[in-house]
Amino acid sequence: MPIRVCFVCLGNICRSPTADGVMVRLVADSGLADQVDVDSAGTSAFHVGEPADHRSAAVARGRGYALTSRSRPFVSADWNRFEYVLAMDRSNLRNLRRLPGAHGFTGTLALFRDFDPESPAESDTPDPYYGGADGFDEVLDICERGCRGLLEQIRSEHGL
């Protein structure tokens, strides 16, 4: 059984699809594609069915990442499907903790940026949706660092 990882933001069109695309490539480049599955979801259903925001997709494409997600809400059945659930900011972490099934979750529910050694503890991945182009680049920088740290932790916890 592969280890399953889900990134969660609000709309599932900017931050979590970016982390998803970065993690998919990092896992593949590490030869672990059969052992680690990656997905993303939102705590809202505002954008259900939509692909990643075109600004996120363009910035990611510029660094060689394909963002292939379709927005979907995180649902209580997801607690049984994933071993690592990573919230892109504290607000979404709070929302996840309030969802039915959260209390029985036995995997790792954590703030994504806590895997980035360069970020102070409890940092949010800033929501780029209403801002300028720089915000999308910053999200990608954060995702590259955080995904490296997350994969290291997964490897050490699972002896990979």
> Where along the sequence are the contacts to ligand 4NP (CB under 6 A)?
9-15, 46, 127, 129
Compute φ and ψ for 60, nearest 5 degrees.
-65, -45
127 in active site: yes
Report the residue closest to ligand 4NP, judged by CB: 11
Q: CA 123 → CA 89, 138, 144, 151, distances in Å?
A: 7, 13, 15, 19
Catalytic option among 15, 25, 55, 113? 15
- Minimum separation from the CB atom of position 31 to ligand 4NP (A): 29
15 in active site: yes
Reading the block at residue 104, the tokens are: 């029985």
143 in active site: no
By beta-carbon proximity to ligand 4NP, the closer residue of 105 and 112 is 112
Q: Are 113 and 125 in contact (CB under 8 A)?
A: yes
Residues with a known catalytic role: 9, 15, 127
